[in-house]
Amino acid sequence: MADRPGARIPRSDDHGGGADGELRRALAVALVPQIDELTRRVVADIHAHSGTYASGAPVSRDDLWEICRDNLLRALEDFGGLPPSGGDFEYAARETGRRRAEQNVPLDTVLQAYRRGGRVMWQVMAEHLRATRAGGTGGTGGAGRGQDPAGVVAGDPDAELDMAGAVWETIDRYSLVMAESYRLTQLEMQGRQDTRRVALFEALLDGRGDDPAVAAAASAALGVPVHDRYVIVVAAQDPAAPPNPAPVLDGHGIWSFWRPGSGRYAGIVRLAAGESGVLLDLLRHRTGATAGVSPEFDRLAQAGRALRLAEQALRTLPAGSGEAAAFDDRLVEVLLVGRPEIAERIVTTQLGAVLDTAAERDALLSTLRVWLDSGCSAARAAELLYCHRNTVLNRIGRIAELTGRSAESGEARLGWALALRALPLRGAHGEPAPTEDHMGQEC
């Protein structure tokens, strides 16, 4: 209704006529010339009962006067069935809703002002009825209803109550129009605000945050400080994961803002002390998204560089794995992903002979991974692999034999470790690389 300019709400006389219609018209005709005095009384009453309006900010007295006068005039004309002087009965109500939404005046406060205006309008009508009735009894001496509408009141004690109901019906209908316009304006403002936030966030990610004006504008739009603790997260839009990690983080009191991109979401996350581990845990176990996390930075201007690091961390993770990794925890993998030809040569020269032994490959690679992670302790590796210590030693000896390297050599161990890191990044003969999933198997 309020979003169609010129649309007509039901008139007060649409559902009644006769004596009631005559009385409404007479009241409207009598009060329209007094519209400025009625407006003065309504503005004074609103100021007396609302600190927001009385303060003069954001609604000035002139603003309130203008909008009240327009609303009262149209309400009186509608109530009395008079032709609209402005051509559109709803205009003032729609304009009130639009203006107050843009001024961020709470809707409840605006609705209360409408109720105060309706109350004063009825008080003025009641005063007029009583004055006319007193004058009619003493001066017109039994004039008929057609000539003296006040005679309706004199002859019917319920007529005044009927008029009060009609007044509040009119006020309620215009309140609904105003509230609808208010909410529509809020939605439009929210859309513009969201567009501005996204544009400024993209400016940060594009590296334009080095301009202090851009950083300050982004800070204001996002509602966060220019200087604080932040990370950038890039999350792949995995089919099995929620499309946006924000609700999960919000539920744990972690602020974030996200922008959808081509197959992924980029987000900036504000961290309190000790929340880095919490963030990774939530990304891994609550969102299901495959995500790369940048190192922490302390200025919004650094978001562009952080985005590149988060993207590099994401590239080290298998697609759809649901794993989240911090850049600093994947430095070796980042280097290897950035130089795929070197990664390929590391795998080939360090573990190529092991990969060629199809029957032994999985057991040898799993044992090597656990042995290296256990500080090259055969006893500890045996515990984790649920096998005998000698089995571990035999397998490590077999790897040394196949690769022609000594298991006691630090250089050999480094080469093997790098090859194991590079293996998941390129696969072995087109097959998924062995992972820690084999660790729980008995030997």
The predicted-structure confidence for 391-425, as pLDDT tens digits, reads as follows 999 999 999 999 999 999 999 999 999 999 888 88
- Amino acid occupying residue 230: Y
- Of residues 248, 245, 288, the one with CA closest to residue 268: 245
CA 118 to chain centre: 37
CA 301 to chain centre: 23
Do 122 and 160 meet the contact criterion of CB atoms below 8 Å apart?
A: no
Residues 6+ apart with CB under 8 A from 443: 363, 367, 385, 386, 387, 388, 391
pLDDT at 274: 74
- Between 338 and 145, name the one with better pLDDT: 338
Kindly state the percentage of the chain with pLDDT values over 90.
Answer: 60
The predicted-structure confidence for 320-336, as pLDDT tens digits, reads as follows 888 899 999 989 889 88
* Residue 236 main-chain phi, psi, to 5 deg: -70, 145
The C-alpha atoms of residue 429 and residue 359 are separated, in whole angstroms, by 14
Which pair of structure tokens corresponds to residue 384? 């984790």
pLDDT at 261: 77
Whether residue 31 has pLDDT greater than 90: yes
Mean model confidence pLDDT for the chain: 85
Whether residue 16 has pLDDT greater than 80: no
- Could you give the 3-state DSSP secondary structure of residue 435? coil
Mean pLDDT, rounded, for 91-104: 95
Orientation angle between helical segments 159-205 and 91-102, nearest 10 degrees = 40
Cβ atoms within 10 A of the Cβ of 349, count?
12
The predicted-structure confidence for 350-396, as pLDDT tens digits, reads as follows 999 999 988 889 999 999 999 999 999 999 999 999 999 999 999 99
- Between 268 and 17, name the one with better pLDDT: 268
Which neighbouring-strand residues pair with 235?
Answer: 265, 291
- Between 301 and 1, name the one with better pLDDT: 301
pLDDT at 288: 80
Strands 256-260 and 324-326: what pairing? unpaired
- Between 1 and 239, name the one with better pLDDT: 239
The predicted-structure confidence for 54-82, as pLDDT tens digits, reads as follows 999 999 999 999 999 999 999 999 999 99
Q: How confident is the model at residue 138 (pLDDT cuts 50, 70, 90)?
A: very low
What's the chain's length in residues? 443
